[in-house]
Structure 1
Amino acid sequence: MLQAIGLTSTRPRRHASTRPRGHAPVVDDLTFDAGPGCVTALLGAPGSGKTAALRLMLELDPGRGITYFRGRPLHSVPRPAGEVGVVLGDVPGHPARTARGQLRMLCAAAGAPVSRADDLLDMVGLDGLGDQRIGALSLAMDRRLALACALLGDPHTLLLDDPVEGLAPRDADWLRGMLRSHAEGGGTVLFTTSNPKEAARTAGHVVTIDAGRLVANQDGAAFSRTRLRPRVAVRSPHAARLAALVSREARAARRSVEVVAEADGSRLSVYGSSCAEVGDTAFRHGLPVHQLADEVGDTAPAGVAAGSAAQSCGPPAEPGADASRAVPGSGAAATRGELPPPIRRRPARGPLRPVRYELRRLFGVRTTTVVMAVVLAASVGLSVLLARDGRTPLPDVLAAWPSLLPLPPAALGAGLLGALSFGDEFRYPALAAGRGAVPRRLGLLLAKLAVSGGVALLLALVVVLTSAESLRVVYGGDLLRVPANAVSLAVSWSGLTVGCAWAGLLAAGIFRVTAAGIAAVLAVPVLVVPLVERMPKGSTVRSVTGLPGRLRELAWLQWPQEADRWLLAVVRLVAHPVGAALALSLSVLICAYLFTGLRGKVRW
């Protein structure tokens, strides 16, 4: 059961006229309900506020009013994907991701088992197109995938914005069958449309709005009877004379016939007659006819009696009933002059299984593997060239870090993958369609940090091992000797790649673009390192020698002597100009990320 009460938009309606007409909202005190076991159509002309009403129900836009989904507003539903499925426009997914990959990624977000993806592909008829890229899908296939995404959490309510627009008749019939099947299973279905015929064909209950306000709330039979009328469409160069003849013969035969002349002057709409009768009249008087066809006429919304209100798909209410009584008690607040409660635009919730979601998001497109392959190839090539002259230290050779480059390829690649962790989602918001940004949830952020850090460590390890094997094959094994400070070098190498990945991730999350993450990574050696190198050196710098022992005494703890080596390696890493610059950049980015997150929460 869906109950929308007093929905009012805070965004004013735009009028085509330049005359001052006040600040009428897009949706104005809209109240109706959509019952279970029934398909309900929200009908209105383009610009009447249908989509704005859906966004108010889903708390995507600020306003006033309240919408109950089986007695609870959406923000109080613990698992929204299991209560409401939404189709607003196209599938909000990366165009390079496959249909199966998109559904599997969203399974982790909704907390559904991964097998649900294949079940839904079969249900919507995409079982043979699971490996097809989203960007290559046709409009009909895209709409099927969007419905599969909406059904992922097995929701009770489906909200769809003009779902059959642009579809071929066959695909539209299939979609109507899916909506009816969901309703017959006890679910609630609400869809918007601007076509009265579509509303009559699909829905068992029709809610008509105009200029954001309720015009009629009817069951399907009452809607067809009052809104849709059969007519004869006639086109003739002598339309005015033919209209007079048809009206005169109808009066003579005492038949109720209405003739309406269209604006162009050559077309008539004849209500209460038939093609045969109109054609015989034109033939008898020698009038040429260029068009003669049966149509279903659409009366204006204002012509629908508001007194034909009805509850869901049940019998129509008694004539004269106020349409606002479709939801019991909805008019009480308006009678007392009270405003409906405010609707606050709330950030979307994070995935229920964030680590699994992040892994499927990261490896669901070719970008990740392409970046890693390019980094690996560039690192191997640079390592072989650096080892040729014999003057570059072995650690720099294995890391493929010539002095001409600000950062080695592995660090740049890790920073790029980290930047894509947030920038990619801001472009294709799979979690929050219509909300504009990925939710800044702590669980999702920690998952992104963990996954990006793990990928950076994997990339760093693969680069070193592959470079070492390439050097052994090209120059022999004499070049490869384990240095005495191998532990310190390993910590430094790992810290560099992980730090670059996190810098790119946090910067992309703050500025919401991938380019900002890449710029933050490049700024570390180009801008921050020179700043750190200008700090005091020599005798003015205090030594941290003996730090592990002092920490052990302070904390009254005992740890293995091997831990002292790791701790000193970390300290030396931070003391290095690049390490210090990276640590400073990460500290600034973390503070900025927390500041923007808190400011966003206050604004919401």
Structure 2
Amino acid sequence: MIEVKGLTKRYDEKVAVDDLSFTVQPGRVTGFLGPNGAGKTTTMRMILGLDAPTSGVATVSGRRYVDLPRPMRAVGALLDAKAAHPGRTARSHLVCLARSNGLPARRAGEVLERVGLEEVAGKRVGQFSLGMSQRLGIAAALLGDPGILMFDEPVNGLDPEGIRWIRQLMKRLAEEGRTVLVSSHLMSEMALTADHLIVIGRGRLVADTGLEEFIEQSSTRTVLVRTPFADYFARVLTASGAKVLIDDTGALVVSNMDSLEIGRRAAADGVQLAELTPQRTSLEEAFMELTRDSVEYNVTEGAVR
């Protein structure tokens, strides 16, 4: 697992990460979320020993990354898709990494095939698109067949097929019992991929919870009701203790009463219903609500013309 304890990183007067503690468990995809500037990449760099913490400690499988004798066998990471020499071919880049960690050269071909780059194995990395570079970075992360994988914005530059592929890959890796930590600003993608969420804002922990629990905690339960007798039924529901709003389309947005009870009231009063749909907050809405005070730059609606 990945363990972060009291991690702090200061740059002069700026605190990028502030006494941050969390654990990333194996067997599930953990989404690492936060507004821009929240400290996600800095935290991942400290876990990987690329930045030294001001205080606190981060360990992988109980050891600091810098103390691992063959780190790629324990941890695979993608932080920068362009972190490869542009003059090297994809295969030579991976073979070099393999040799540096005591891995057989054949692993280069195996991971290139797994990420769909076997046909461009001899192409220079400098000629790769961003999407191809992302796949090469993922291949490098998989090179040592590690038990821990960390991805920072892995779907950047990928087309819809590539996004679907990386989503399925992360789920398979977690199902194999590996620890998977992935940061992303695409809430819709995280809603389809993550099992657990770690959310930070201004370098501090905001939430450490399951995906469903995170959305549930931030949700206001409502039911969307459409009926030809909207005004009448709104009065019926209000008299029964519900809170009713009428939206721009003429539909009723009902709170303080579930869909089953609303259906019963409609049947008892002979009210025909065209729609009766429970509404739920999306991950994006829950995230925005929880982190609205942690955004580094707030823009007032209507301020930009």
TM-score by length of 1: 0.39
Alignment match, 2:127? 136
1:67 pairs, out of 28, 43, 58, with 58
Tell me the alpha carbon deviations over residues 98-149 of structure 1, each in whole angstroms, 9 at most, x when there is no partner. 1112111222112111111111111111111212221222222211110011
1:95 matched to 2:86: yes
**CA–CA distance in 2 between the matches of 1:247 and 1:49?**
50
In structure 2, do the counterparts of structure 1 residues 87 and 253 end up closer, same or farther at CA, with 3 Å as the change threshold? same
Aligned residue runs from structure 1 range 186-265, under 5 A: 186-227=177-218, 253-254=237-238, 255-256=242-243
**CA–CA distance in 2 between the matches of 1:120 and 1:199?**
24
1:298 matched to 2:285: yes
In structure 2, do the counterparts of structure 1 residues 193 and 249 end up closer, same or farther at CA, with 3 Å as the change threshold? farther
**CA–CA distance in 1 between the matches of 2:103 and 2:142?**
11
Identity %: 37
**CA–CA distance in 2 between the matches of 1:248 and 1:146?**
60
Partner of 1:29, secondary structure, is strand
The answer to whether the 8 A contact 2:215-2:281 is kept is no
Partner of 1:25, secondary structure, is strand
In structure 2, do the counterparts of structure 1 residues 121 and 217 end up closer, same or farther at CA, with 3 Å as the change threshold? same
Aligned residue runs from structure 1 range 360-509, under 5 A: none
Amino acid paired to 2:145? D
The answer to whether the 8 A contact 1:38-1:184 is kept is yes
**CA–CA distance in 2 between the matches of 1:27 and 1:249?**
52
Alignment match, 1:158? 149
Alignment match, 1:42? 32
Alignment match, 1:531? none
Alignment match, 1:599? none
Partner of 1:27, secondary structure, is strand
**CA–CA distance in 2 between the matches of 1:249 and 1:11?**
60
**CA–CA distance in 1 between the matches of 2:45 and 2:67?**
17
The answer to whether the 8 A contact 1:199-1:206 is kept is no
In structure 2, do the counterparts of structure 1 residues 249 and 137 end up closer, same or farther at CA, with 3 Å as the change threshold? farther
**CA–CA distance in 2 between the matches of 1:35 and 1:98?**
35
**CA–CA distance in 1 between the matches of 2:89 and 2:65?**
30
**CA–CA distance in 2 between the matches of 1:272 and 1:92?**
52
1:302 positional shift: 5.7
In structure 2, do the counterparts of structure 1 residues 197 and 107 end up closer, same or farther at CA, with 3 Å as the change threshold? same
Aligned residue runs from structure 1 range 330-341, under 5 A: none
Amino acid paired to 1:9? K
The answer to whether the 8 A contact 1:231-1:295 is kept is no
1:185 positional shift: 1.2
Unaligned runs of 5+ in 1: 13-22, 233-245, 261-265, 274-293, 305-604
The answer to whether the 8 A contact 2:134-2:157 is kept is no
* Greater relative contact order (CA < 8 Å, ≥ 6 in sequence): 2
In structure 2, do the counterparts of structure 1 residues 222 and 128 end up closer, same or farther at CA, with 3 Å as the change threshold? same
CA RMSD of aligned residues (A): 3.0
The answer to whether the 8 A contact 2:219-2:281 is kept is no
**CA–CA distance in 1 between the matches of 2:218 and 2:196?**
13
The answer to whether the 8 A contact 1:30-1:213 is kept is yes
Partner of 2:11, secondary structure, is coil
1:26 pairs, out of 16, 19, 22, with 16
The answer to whether the 8 A contact 1:97-1:133 is kept is yes
Name the structure with the higher helix share. Answer: 1
1:200 positional shift: 2.1
Amino acid paired to 1:56? M
Name the structure with the higher strand share. Answer: 2
